[in-house]
Amino acid sequence: MSRQPPAVSVLLPVRNGLPYVVRAIDSILQQTWSDFELLVIDDGSVDATADYVRGLTDPRVRALSSGGGGLAAALNLGLDAARGRYVARQDADDWSAPARLATQLAFLAVHADIDVLATAVDFVDADGRPVENAWTRTVRSQWDRAVTAAQIAALMPLTCCLFHATIVAKRDVLRQGGYDQAMVPAEDYDLWLRLLPHHQFARLPDRLYTVRVHAASSSARRRDAQVERVIAAKLRFVRRQRHDLPHPATLWLPNDDRGAAIFRRIAPSEGFRIGTAAEPADVIAVTALSQVEQRARRLLAGGRYRQFGNLFVRERRGETRGTGRQTEAGAHPG
């Protein structure tokens, strides 16, 4: 191994990754940017993944083992071992375009203020055929339009609008945050929200990464747990931004849907009490996301609430109580 640190360390955590991991690894080894190391972190595979990785002869590949400790433990192990100034991610099911690293590193070289840089993506199924559905159309219409730091900062509290595996980021920024095992499988969203107030994100509009959408992927298998962790990450983010929130804070849910049911389950452990429409709410969670924009116009009128994605937090300065008007009393305008 060269004594000179590479420009970028690529982290590829994997558990039972065959057959897809072969293409994932090849897509990194065939990058036009050659100054990298590829850290393949085996997370307790019981198939032949570990044997395959150990058989690779490219000197840029380093095989690590996290002993089956989970995704966050594997990523943190990779962060600790990374020698590059930058860290890139690669998932075991997907692949990167040949110019991906070169394009991202060129952008970062002239935008020193950007700490985390993602790209747009393509979607394919298990057999490599293009995928288009309601979710991918949402990504195209909503996520892909957020490319600047300001646009991503505005959208991130609503949705995890970056694909984790597309990032190239400053290594020391990621180490400062670290991945929380308790937040898997939304460990990336939790990290982005923790970094968001003090670090800059950007996205390249180029589709330099291909996401394989299939039933065996970890995100598909753990969808319900992912939604729970996403909600927990949002509530924690709001508490970090608003230290004046009481404990417990009153949370009102104007919708009665699946998202509201998960909020009711998660909120008490995050220091929130479910309130009713008849009492002032510290936080209003609009779980019908199609209604967020409409609700925002009503809730933000008069400066009584501040928006964090689909959460609206009551401003506590200059409260007026006892006027007999709900909007003045801090309850629920609209």
Cα atoms in the Cβ-side hemisphere of radius 13 Å centred on 236: 18
Within 8 A by CB and 6+ apart from 150, the residues are none
Mean pLDDT, the chain, integer? 92
Considering only CA atoms, give the Rg of the chain.
Answer: 22
Three-state SS annotation for 246-295: CCCEEEECCCCCHHHHHHHHHHHHHCEEECCCCCCCCEEECCCHHHHHHH
> Which top CATH class is 8-221?
alpha beta
Residue 48 identity (one-letter amino acid): A
What are the boundaries of each domain within the chain?
8-221, 242-329
Q: Please, are residues 164 and 188 in contact by the beta-carbon 8 Å criterion?
A: yes
Q: Tens digit of pLDDT for each residue in 242-273? A: 999 999 999 999 999 999 999 999 999 999 99
Residue 320: pLDDT over 50: no
pLDDT confidence tier of residue 229, bands split at 50, 70 and 90 = very high
Encoded tokens for 302: 């008069």
Give the pLDDT of residue 23: 98
Q: What is the DSSP letter of 181?
A: G
pLDDT of residue 217: 59
Q: Residue holding tokens 């928006």? A: 307
Q: Say if residue 319's pLDDT is above 80.
A: no
* Per-residue pLDDT, 219: 55
- 325 pLDDT above the threshold of 50: no
Q: Pick the residue with more confidence: 302 or 26?
A: 26
Q: In the prediction, which pLDDT does 224 show?
A: 86
- Whether 324 has a pLDDT exceeding 70, the answer reads no
Q: Is the peptide bond before 19 cis (omega within 30 degrees of 0)?
A: yes
pLDDT confidence tier of residue 93, bands split at 50, 70 and 90:
very high
* Distance linking the first and last C-alpha atoms of the chain: 63
**What span, in angstroms and rounded, lies between the C-alpha atoms of 146 and 99?**
22
C-alpha–C-alpha distance, residues 33 and 7, integer Å: 10
What percent of the chain stands above pLDDT 90? 87
Contacts of 197 (CB under 8 A, 6+ apart): 240, 241
pLDDT at residue 329, rounded to an integer = 34
- pLDDT value for 1: 47
Residue 96 has pLDDT above 70, yes or no: yes
Decide if 160 contacts 214 (C-beta within 8 A): no
pLDDT digits (tens, 9 = 90+) for 149-205: 999 999 999 999 999 999 999 999 999 999 999 999 999 999 999 999 999 999 999
Residue matched to tokens 């967020």: 292
- Spacing of C-alpha 208 from chain mean position: 18
User: Which pLDDT does position 223 carry in this prediction?
Assistant: 81
Backbone φ and ψ of 93, nearest 5°: -90, -15
Chain centre distance of CA 64:
24
Reported as a single tens digit per residue, the pLDDT across 125-147 is 999 999 999 999 999 999 999 99
Average pLDDT over residues 293-300: 91
Would you list the DSSP string of 10-46? EEEEESS-TTHHHHHHHHHHT-S---EEEEEEE-S--
